[in-house]
A and B are shown apart, each in its own frame.
Chain A
């Protein structure tokens, strides 16, 4: 790609981002603030609520995939249980804002949402990050399932009924900006890590952990720090989700599918890169939302569709679309054949 075309692409992306960021403002004209239903006024809005909701969901998955990238993409540890951090963040906000429990305003509760999962990650990270490969993957998968189950079984946390943070009316735009802010924070964190000494340490661990230790990388500290950072960002998204959805229980904040969706997004986009997880999240979550939007019997079919996307991505473009489109090899059958030859028997 020539420099000119690359710049053109960059400008186009910036314009699209700016439009996406500005559009939600049109949702809250004075009429809405006065309590009038905008639709009854016959005003044609550029964005409607369902689109804003989709955008917020996509932003949420950008956070999840980009946060996972820190531990999975950069450090190379197959974390399969990041949903535990999402749920812990959500429950932190849920408990603190609950009228009968914490009774705190959302603005005070949200800053604590990354802290609880981060602490938890530091605690379990020490034993879990001693494991490698499959052991680490399944141990974290078990962590995600177990935490949700424990919370569901304890009445203090609302049991199987769940928690109901007080509803914010007409605040869809607020949650969109919060989530978009969290996404920006996640990408910025990745950017900083990628060009820091710490980030090089993580990559060294991914490439060869023993060699990294030999040249003086404190591997335990690096791995736990990456895990904690990922947990904090994921927890922040969970905290915003709790208030946005104003209803949380084990099923909606600890879904096993999220684990795999965030990993798939990061890998499909390009694990270990800065914008890969972001691109993967936008494309795949749009696809998932579009499939799920068909409803009914199609909901089951959409799950099958997700499984097929997963299988096809893993088999044919294992190094992600960023490599596929922007890397050394162009979009070609030869590229697919080469990567197939490398991985199959």
Chain B
């Protein structure tokens, strides 16, 4: 029983990581109608930035998170403004292929800069945690969970309570009408992608603190972000939070049922994807089928 409780807690905390990974992906998909195949690479950029600041400047990984966000916002803004804006009206093939090309470039640039060695961020409090009853709760994962919810809250606030969020939602609802009322489409697109990338950067910082990282470790996160968004439902921050946490729970519980479960992450994600698409294509919290 206590083993089950432990798994539930770990699944919940892992879900927090998925929320952080998926929230930016969901924003970009919902507003720009782009499935960003470079999302995993952006996550890894954030992870390496945190690692680099920790190793070379001794900066605490949680302190470096805002730096990740700002740096990745700049990267995301420029990528959208210079590259993706040029094909945004083309059929979806083209945005998919373009983001895959960006992914290829980003992953190999990381490979050139940081080599393919495994890297890990190990602050002094790594490995310590508290014990609640019979359940062990690692501090880092708990903090990561809190940060993930914070990021989700911040994006929710940005989208629903600010003028910029209003503009972003207007563009998402009707591009041409938004342009007619004087919204600068190029800027708002770039802004949206930048915010999505910033969230990916924070997620990467968290992942770099929890796991050891390699340049190619980002690829599964793109698929998982997609599954989380499908599972929760597209278009709302709260749906992504529910989808992320649920997916974390599913993954941990499924992996403990399968021998050598850790090798099955992609297969589990795919199975969840197909099941959701067949049974409830609009997602758990979605309102209408897409």
Contacts and interface: CB of A to CB of B under 8 A. Distances in A.
Contacts of A260: 97, 100, 104
Interface in A316-345: 318, 340, 342-345
Contact of B96 (A78, A139, A145, A315): A78
A297 to B, nearest CB: 8
A340 B86 CA distance: 7
A314 interface: yes
A152 B94 CA distance: 31
Contact of A345 (B189, B227, B277): B189
Contacts of A142: 223, 226-227, 266, 269-270, 273-274
Contacts of A135: 230, 277, 281, 290
B85 interface: yes
Interface in A81-100: none
A134 interface: yes
A300 B98 CA distance: 19
A311 B290 contact: no
Contacts, number: 139
A275 B225 CA distance: 37
B90 A318 contact: yes
B96 A80 contact: yes
Nearest to B260: A153
Interface stretch (B10-18, B107-115, B156-164): B107-115
B154 to A, nearest CB: 26
Interface string A299-320: 0110110111111001100100
Interface string B239-282: 00000000000000000000010011111011101100110010
A344 B85 contact: yes
B108 A300 contact: yes
Given A150-B267, A263-B97, A315 B108 contact: no
Nearest to B265: A149
Given A131-B277, A149-B266, A303-B108, A314 B89 contact: no
A149 to B, nearest CB: 5
B104 A343 contact: no
A107 B247 CA distance: 46
B153 interface: no
A344 B98 contact: no
A141 interface: yes
B92 A149 contact: no
A301 to B, nearest CB: 8
B35 A343 contact: no
Contacts of B175: 345
Q: Which of A72, A78, A306 has the most CB of B within 10 A?
A: A78
Chain A contact residues, majority secondary structure = helix
A308 B112 CA distance: 16
B185 interface: yes
Interface residues of B, number: 51
A150 B270 CA distance: 11
B101 A307 contact: yes
A163 interface: no
A308 B93 CA distance: 17
Given A137-B96, A340-B86, A145 B266 contact: yes
Interface string A121-143: 00000011001011101110111
B112 A300 contact: yes
A212 interface: no
A244 to B, nearest CB: 26
Contact of B86 (A152, A264, A300, A343): A343
A309 B100 CA distance: 12
Nearest to A142: B270
A301 B108 CA distance: 7
Contacts of B265: 149
A263 B93 CA distance: 9
Nearest to B29: A134
A146 interface: yes
B83 interface: yes
B108 A344 contact: no
Contacts of A344: 85-89
A152 B35 CA distance: 28
B102 interface: yes
Interface in A200-228: none
Contacts of A257: 104
Contacts of B60: none
Nearest to B278: A127
B270 A143 contact: yes
B105 interface: yes
A237 interface: no
Contacts of A133: 92
A145 B273 CA distance: 13
A343 B87 contact: yes
Contacts of A303: 104, 107-108
A256 interface: yes
B98 A311 contact: yes
Q: Which of B29, B104, B186, B271 has the most CB of A within 10 A?
A: B104
Contact of B89 (A80, A263, A264, A343): A343
- A-B residue pairs, 6 tightest by C-beta: A310-B101, A307-B104, A146-B270, A307-B105, A343-B90, A142-B270
Given A314-B90, A345-B185, 18 more contacts: A78-B92, A78-B96, A127-B277, A131-B277, A135-B277, A137-B92, A137-B96, A146-B267, A146-B269, A152-B263, A260-B100, A304-B108, A314-B94, A314-B97, A314-B101, A343-B94, A344-B85, A345-B88
28 contacts: A78-B92, A78-B96, A128-B274, A131-B281, A134-B29, A137-B96, A138-B223, A138-B273, A146-B267, A146-B271, A149-B265, A150-B264, A152-B263, A260-B97, A263-B93, A263-B97, A297-B112, A306-B104, A310-B100, A311-B83, A311-B98, A314-B97, A315-B86, A315-B87, A318-B94, A342-B89, A342-B90, A343-B87
